[in-house]
Amino acid sequence: MFGYVVLALLFLWGVLMIAKPDLLWSIEHKDQMDRQRPTEKYVSTMRVAGSICMVLAVALFVMFLR
């Protein structure tokens, strides 16, 4: 049961990384930067990493079902 919760959280983290990379950047750099925006490289890297998290979560879920 705990494994399914972890996989669901991993999947939701991936969705967040794809949908809101700016939000994650602002949380990560809240005290360091004043009114600056993340670079396009950061945004694209976060979206790729989010996609990997989602695929990994689905693949592990399928493995747990077997």
pLDDT digits (tens, 9 = 90+) for 2-59: 889 999 999 999 999 999 999 999 888 887 767 788 899 999 999 999 999 999 999 9
- CA within 13 Å, CB half, 17: 19
Do 54 and 16 form a contact (C-beta atoms < 8 A)? Answer: no
Tell me if the pTM is above 0.75. yes
Residue 2: the pLDDT is 87
Residue 49: the pLDDT is 97
Residue 44: the pLDDT is 96
Cα 10 to Cα 66: distance, rounded to the nearest angstrom: 20
The yes-or-no verdict on residue 66 having pLDDT over 90 is no
Q: What angle do CA 24, 34, 41 make, to 5 degrees?
A: 45
